[in-house]
Amino acid sequence: MTGRFSRRRALVTGASRGIGAAIAERLAAEGADVAITARTLDHHDRLAGSLRETQARLERYGTNVGVVVADLTDETERAQIVPRAVEALGGPIEILVNNAAAAIYQPLADFPLRRRRVLFEANVHAPLDLAQAVLPAMRDAGEGWIVNLSSGSARLWAGPPFDLGVTGSTITVYGASKAALDRLTNGLAAELYGTGIRVNAIEPRAAVMSEGAEALVGSSLRADQIETMEEMVEGVVALCDCPPHVTGRIAVSLDLIDEWRLTVHNLDASRRA
The predicted pLDDT at position 221 comes to 55
Name the band, by pLDDT with cuts 50, 70 and 90, for residue 210.
Answer: low
- Closest CA relative to residue 179, chosen from 214, 207, 152: 152
- Give a yes or no: residue 249 inside a domain: yes
pLDDT tens digits, one per residue of 20-59: 999 999 999 999 999 999 999 987 666 678 999 999 999 9
- Give a yes or no: residue 169 inside a domain: no
The predicted pLDDT at position 184 comes to 98
Domain count, the chain: 1
165 pLDDT exceeds 90? Answer: no
pLDDT tens digits, one per residue of 103-128: 999 999 999 999 999 999 999 999 99
- Give a yes or no: residue 272 inside a domain: no
Catalytic member of 61, 105, 174, 193: 174
- Give a yes or no: residue 160 inside a domain: no
Name the band, by pLDDT with cuts 50, 70 and 90, for residue 193.
Answer: very high
219 pLDDT exceeds 70? Answer: no
The whole-angstrom separation of Cα 31 and Cα 37 is 19
* C-beta contacts of 173-177 below 8 A and 24+ residues apart: 173/104, 173/108, 173/111, 173/115, 173/116, 173/119, 174/101, 174/102, 174/103, 174/104, 174/105, 174/119, 174/123, 175/151, 177/101, 177/119, 177/120, 177/122, 177/123, 177/124
- Give a yes or no: residue 266 inside a domain: no
- Give a yes or no: residue 222 inside a domain: yes
Name the band, by pLDDT with cuts 50, 70 and 90, for residue 211.
Answer: low
- Give a yes or no: residue 267 inside a domain: no
65 pLDDT exceeds 90? Answer: yes
Q: What is the pTM of this model?
A: 0.93
What CATH number corresponds to the domain at position 66?
Answer: 3.40.50.720
pLDDT tens digits, one per residue of 76-86: 999 999 999 99
Domain that residue 193 falls in: 9-104+122-153+178-259
Q: Which helix (H) or strand (E) holds 34?
A: strand 33-38
Active site residue 174: yes
